[in-house]
Amino acid sequence: MHTLRAATVQLVSHTDPAVNRESVKRLVAEAAAAGADWVLLPEYWPIMGQRDTDKLALAEPFGNGPLQEMMAALAAEHGIVLFGGSIPLAGATPDKILNSLLVYGRDGRCLSRYDKTHLFGFTGLGESYREADTIEAGNRIPPAGEADGWRYAQGICYDLRFPEFFRAQQPFDVLLLPAAFTYTTGLAHWQMLLQARAVENQCYVIASGQGGTHANGRRTFGHSMIIDPWGEILACLPEGEGVVTAELKPERLRTVRSKLPALQHRLF
């Protein structure tokens, strides 16, 4: 395990998928030019539709489709590990999709797949969201993946609120979380939840968000960030499109875990 430079990409995804694809290509190239080894995209990067059902038209079968081909090509072109935020994959029925995080290695090969398990629902302050209307829930906890000698855990957005979900993926060194937190819930809870997951798992956290007011009127919280195993924020982009990077250092991981060996003290 050696020091890595990680990058988190923040978008304000459009209702037009072509606009979003060009933004992703540009920002991934920017991250790679900054020396990033790993790049994380946000949830729903291909589209933030006028209607929740708009994403159904983009659903692809796993292993085949333009969104997957694009991410594989970007990983290979830039020689990075690309954590592909989330894209719509075909579900069991045509009226729902799977909200899926695919990870691509430096050769463009798909290393892992995770289908979002916890589906967001919120009503209040003039907002209402019910992901279960258009998304089929995943049915498994992903095993920890590995790239460049680092073990990674995965979650998508609302998963962040369920600490036992990540405990079940132990052992891991880095937690990757693409998201599209609403402004309301993000302002209240985003940072504290991310720092809690970093501290309790003594791991780095890389979180990528949607960050601004979208063409459909929805406002997302942004604040894409990278956090170290002690809970310190190493980099943060509050709002708007862009990239931030930080180094993941194995010695920092070892120091935190040796001085306070909480992971070894777990009983349950």
In the numeric block, which tokens belong to residue 102?
């695919």
Domains and CATH numbers, the chain: 4-260 (3.60.110.10)
Beta strands in 116-232 (DSSP E): 121-124, 127-130, 145-147, 150-154, 174-178, 204-208, 224-227
pLDDT at 125: 66
Count helices and strands in the chain by DSSP H and E runs: 6, 15
Of 137, 50, 56, 49, whose CA–CA distance to 95 is shortest?
56
**Per the residue annotation, which of 96, 136, 157, 239 is the catalytic one?**
157
How far apart CA 256 and CA 261 sit, in angstroms, is 8
Pair 120, 158: CB distance under 8 Å? yes
The pLDDT value given to residue 126: 67
Per-residue pLDDT reduced to its tens digit, 193-219: 999 999 999 999 999 999 999 989 899
Return the structure tokens found at 56: 């159904």
* Cα separation, 81 vs 77, whole angstroms: 11
Question: Which residue out of 43, 60, 131, 136 is catalytically annotated?
Answer: 43
Q: Is 43 annotated as catalytic?
A: yes
Instruction: Tell me the per-residue pLDDT of 234-246, one tens digit each, with 9 for 90 and over.
Output: 999 999 999 999 9
Residue range 118-131: mean pLDDT, rounded: 78
**DSSP secondary structure string for all residues of 192-224:** HHHHHHHHHHTSEEEEE-B-SB-TTS-BB---E
How far the first Cα of the chain sits from its last, in Å, is 28
Out of 116, 131, 136, 239, the active site residue is 116
The answer to whether 237 touches 223, Cβ cutoff 8 Å, is yes
pTM: 0.95
Q: Is the pLDDT assigned to residue 22 strictly greater than 90?
A: yes
* Mean of the per-residue pLDDT values of the chain: 95
